[in-house]
A = this chain, B = another copy of it.
């Protein structure tokens, strides 16, 4: 079961990292940053969430600095965008939404899994799963000196949060770790896609 958990973490982290790295590098181009800026934003977007999670649970050095593969994946994502940017602009927005949401779901699941492995309280594990999923994009936005998208856009962090809750509840009712993770990931994915399609938003308090 330890082995299974490790594989969930590893596959989720790697696949999600590549997608997020490409998005970070693409953002750098839109902001007219140079190659170094692309590498920094690719690294931050891809690995920032897991890095913050690892600092917070006390697993230092963070996984993304303990194994050079993580940084290699992030910089590969930047290189793909650098050399093939003209192809990337032709990817239909719906496919980008699907890939990004897949990355979000993978990170939310992997982050919650790791927090539980480190004996965090399930309530806190849910928060850490969410931080893993949206932390990279938040750090990217801090570097760009703008309010993190996750605070102003529709149902994004909320989908990660709900997916993490479903995963934790799944384990409470004795689903296998893999099945609980699958359920959580599916809920995160569907909630995000449906909310974009249906223009769902969270409630607000009017400041007037």
Contact = CB atoms under 8 A, between A and B. Distances in A.
Say how many copies of this protein the assembly contains. 3
Interface string A25-37: 0000111111111
From DSSP, what is the main secondary structure of chain A's interface residues? helix
A145 B143 CA distance: 9
A147 interface: yes
11 contacts: A33-B152, A34-B202, A40-B151, A55-B56, A56-B60, A56-B61, A57-B65, A58-B60, A82-B205, A142-B142, A144-B147
Interface of A: 29-38, 40, 51, 55-58, 60-62, 65-66, 68, 71-72, 81-82, 85, 118, 120-121, 123-124, 127-128, 138, 142-148, 150-152, 157-158, 161, 201-207
